[in-house]
C-alpha cells in the first residue's frame, strides 16, 4: 500500500496530460501519457484489492460507517475504470471537455473522498463528541446519498458519449440531452436531501445524548491505539505513553486464545482504556497567530493571479503571524491549560494532587550533573 501510494503520486505528474491530447502535443507525448494513464491502474488496483482483502473473511457488520466505506471502494472503482479509458487516445479525444469527464471526476472525488469523509464522521463521532450518531438516520443518509450520487453522475457518462459539452448553462432542444439531464437533476436533489438528513441526525443525536447514558469506551470493538483514551478524548490525549508490543495492540489486550486456538475475550474496554484523569500534563494556551499567518496565504494566491498588491498585503500578514507566533509569551506552568485544575492546586475533595509533579525546584543548567 505504501509503495502504491508513492507510485500513484509519482505517476500522477504525467497522467493529467491526457487532457492535453486535443492540444496538438505530438504523437510521442500522446503515447507517453497514454502509457502513464494506463499503468496508474496497477498501483490503484493494489489499493482496491487490499481494501477488499481487508474485508474478506471478516464478520462484517453493515452499520453506517461500513456502508459508507463500502461505497468508497465500489464508487472509486467505477471512477478508476472510466479513467483508464482515457489511455486510448482516440477515445480520450472524443471524451475531452464533455460530461464524460465530469462523470469520471466525480466518481473518483465524490465516491472516493466525500463518501469516505462521511464514513469518518460516523466512525469518529463518539471519539470526538462522546455519543454516537443515530444508526437509523445514518442509513437513510447513506442510501439517499448513494442513490442520488449514481442518479446524478452515472447518466453523465451517456451524455458525454453523446457529445454534450461541459461548462454550458443551457442547450438547445432536439439533441437528446433532455431526459438524462432531468434524471441527473433529480439525483442532485436527492443528494441534497441526504445531506439534510445528516444534519438532522447531528441535531437529534446531540439532543438525545443529553439524557441518554454516555457511549461506551469501545463502541466499535476497535483495534487501533487511539481507543485507549476515553470518549470524548481529553484535551491532553493520552494520560501516559502506551507500550506497543504487537500490531493492533488495543485488540490484543482485549482478546486472546484458549487452548483450542479460539479467540476469547480476556479483558473489557474499561479494564484496558485509560481514564483520562491525568492532571500533571501542561498544555500551551491556544494562539490566534497561526490564524493570522494562514489568513495571509489566500491574499498571496490572489496576488499571483491578479495584482501584486495582494501579495504585499498577504506577505505582511504572514510576517506578522510569524513574528507574533515566535515571540508569544511562554505559558505559566501553574496557570490554567484547559483541562481542569492544575496538579498543584487543591481539589474539592482534599489536598493538592501530585500525580508525578515534584515540589522540588528543577536543576538549572549550571547545577545539572555532567555525564
Closest CA to 6 of 32, 42, 52: 42
| Residues across the chain | 371
Among 56-70, 274-288, 315-329, the minimum mean pLDDT is found in 274-288
* β-bridge mates for residue 346, sequence order: 352
CA 83-86-87 angle, to 5 degrees, is: 110
CA 43-47-49 angle, to 5 degrees, is: 110
Q: Give residue-wise pLDDT tens across range 228-253.
A: 988 888 888 888 888 888 888 898 89
pTM for this prediction: 0.79
Residue 76's pLDDT is: 93
Residue 346, φ and ψ in degrees, nearest 5:
-70, 145
Q: Which of 25-39, 181-195, 269-283, 342-356 reaches the highest mean pLDDT?
A: 181-195
- Whole-angstrom distance, CA of residue 275 vs CA of residue 238: 9
* β-bridge mates for residue 136, sequence order: none
Q: Give residue-wise pLDDT tens across range 248-301.
A: 889 889 998 888 888 888 888 888 888 887 777 777 777 889 999 999 999 999
Contacts 24+ apart (CB under 8 A), 259-265: none
Amino acid at each position: 500500500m505504501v509503495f502504491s501510494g508513492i507510485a500513484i503520486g509519482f505517476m500522477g505528474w504525467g497522467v493529467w496530460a491526457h487532457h492535453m491530447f486535443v492540444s496538438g502535443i505530438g504523437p510521442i507525448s500522446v503515447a507517453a501519457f497514454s502509457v502513464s494513464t494506463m499503468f496508474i491502474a496497477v498501483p490503484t488496483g493494489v489499493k482496491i484489492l487490499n481494501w477488499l482483502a481487508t474485508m474478506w473473511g471478516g464478520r462484517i457488520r453493515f452499520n453506517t460507517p461500513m456502508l459508507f466505506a463500502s461505497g468508497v471502494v465500489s464508487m472509486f472503482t467505477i471512477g478508476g475504470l472510466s479513467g483508464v479509458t482515457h489511455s486510448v487516445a482516440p477515445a480520450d479525444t472524443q471524451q475531452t471537455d464533455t460530461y464524460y469527464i465530469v462523470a469520471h471526476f466525480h466518481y473518483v472525488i465524490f465516491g472516493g473522498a466525500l463518501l469516505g469523509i462521511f464514513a469518518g464522521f460516523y466512525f469518529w463521532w463518539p471519539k470526538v463528541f462522546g455519543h454516537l450518531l443515530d444508526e437509523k438516520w445514518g442509513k437513510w443518509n447513506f442510501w439517499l446519498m448513494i442513490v442520488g450520487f449514481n442518479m446524478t453522475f452515472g447518466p453523465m457518462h451517456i451524455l458525454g458519449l453523446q457529445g454534450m459539452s461541459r461548462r454550458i448553462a443551457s442547450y438547445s432542444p432536439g439533441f437528446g440531452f433532455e431526459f438524462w439531464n432531468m434524471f441527473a437533476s433529480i439525483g442532485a436533489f436527492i443528494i441534497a436531501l441526504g445531506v439534510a438528513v445528516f444534519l438532522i441526525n447531528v441535531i437529534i443525536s446531540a439532543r438525545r445524548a443529553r439524557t441518554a447514558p454516555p457511549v461506551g469506551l469501545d463502541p466499535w470493538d476497535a483495534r487501533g491505539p487511539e481507543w485507549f483514551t476515553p470518549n470524548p478524548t481529553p484535551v491532553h490525549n493520552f494520560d501516559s505513553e502506551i507500550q506497543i508490543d504487537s500490531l493492533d495492540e488495543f485488540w490484543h489486550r482485549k482478546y486472546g486464545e484458549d487452548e483450542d486456538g479460539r479467540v476469547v475475550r480476556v479483558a473489557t474496554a474499561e479494564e484496558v482504556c485509560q481514564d483520562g484523569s491525568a492532571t500533571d500534563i501542561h498544555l500551551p494556551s491556544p494562539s490566534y497567530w497561526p490564524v493570522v499567518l494562514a489568513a495571509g496565504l489566500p491574499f498571496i494566491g490572489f496576488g499571483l493571479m491578479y495584482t501584486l498588491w495582494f501579495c504585499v498585503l498577504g506577505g505582511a500578514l504572514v510576517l506578522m503571524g510569524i513574528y507574533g507566533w515566535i515571540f508569544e509569551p511562554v505559558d505559566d506552568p501553574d496557570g490554567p491549560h484547559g483541562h481542569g485544575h492544575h496538579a498543584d492546586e487543591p481539589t474539592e475533595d482534599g489536598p493538592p494532587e501530585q500525580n508525578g509533579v515534584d515540589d522540588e525546584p528543577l536543576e538549572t543548567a549550571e547545577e545539572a550533573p555532567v555525564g
